[in-house]
Structure 1
Amino acid sequence: MNWKLITLVLVLLGFSALSAYSMVQVGYLGIWKAGMANPGALQILADVVIVCCLAIAWMVQDARHRGVAVWPYVLITLTAGSFGPLLYLIRREWVTRDASRPVPQYG
């Protein structure tokens, strides 16, 4: 495992723990309600939505270039935010890692 993959997995695990805690405390809709509670929270929510849209645009372009299906990651991004791009980057790094391994020569 390379440092990029390790970092991405650690970020995913940490964010998963935070998201699970938040879901237990306030629920899925409660997270959205909190994002609309006041102008400051709404600004942060709008910022996250903008960044997720930019991430979707990048994932679509990158997936076309690599010839992979992007729709699962777009769907995850639309429903769960950063999880989509994080999972896409982990998959991308994993595939890149496998492709760079030398193929064993037999015979």
Structure 2
Amino acid sequence: MRTVLFLTLAAFGAFSTYVMWQVGYLGIWQAGMASLGAWQVLLDLVLMSCIALGFLWQDAQRSGRTWWPFALLTLAAGSFGPLLYLLLQPSGAARNPRPATAS
């Protein structure tokens, strides 16, 4: 799974770098607001980023990981935050989760 995550991050990172070089950060947002169809895609991506942040937060609480750097990265760069969170997951995290505490 780490290989797939790494390849996805590398390919998407290279493509994103190229796009950023061509149109800039603001150019990406302007393209996302160019038409109603583009607004739909942009809002869908924002919604999915918010859902991903919820899952990251819950998983970080359960596993004792820090989540805020990944949250900031998600807010600034979309799927790079969740991809890195999954890629940098400790090897034994899935097998030895920390019990949830009542709050």
Identify the residue that residue 60 of structure 1 maps to in structure 2.
Answer: 57
Aligned positions, number: 95
Q: Which of residues 77, 85, 91 in structure 2 aligns to 1:96?
A: 91
Given the alignment of the two structures, is residue 85 of structure 1 paired with residue 90 of structure 2, yes or no?
Answer: no
Given the alignment of the two structures, is residue 31 of structure 1 paired with residue 24 of structure 2, yes or no?
Answer: no
Alpha-carbon RMSD: 1.5
Structure 2 residue ranges without an equivalent (≥5): 96-103
Higher Rg: 1
Given the alignment of the two structures, is residue 46 of structure 1 paired with residue 39 of structure 2, yes or no?
Answer: no
Structure 1 residue ranges without an equivalent (≥5): 101-107
Per-residue deviation at 1:96?
1.9
Normalising to structure 2: TM-score of the pair? 0.88
In 1: Cα distance, 2:88 partner to 2:60 partner: 11
In 2: Cα distance, 1:89 partner to 1:22 partner: 24
In 1: Cα distance, 2:44 partner to 2:93 partner: 35
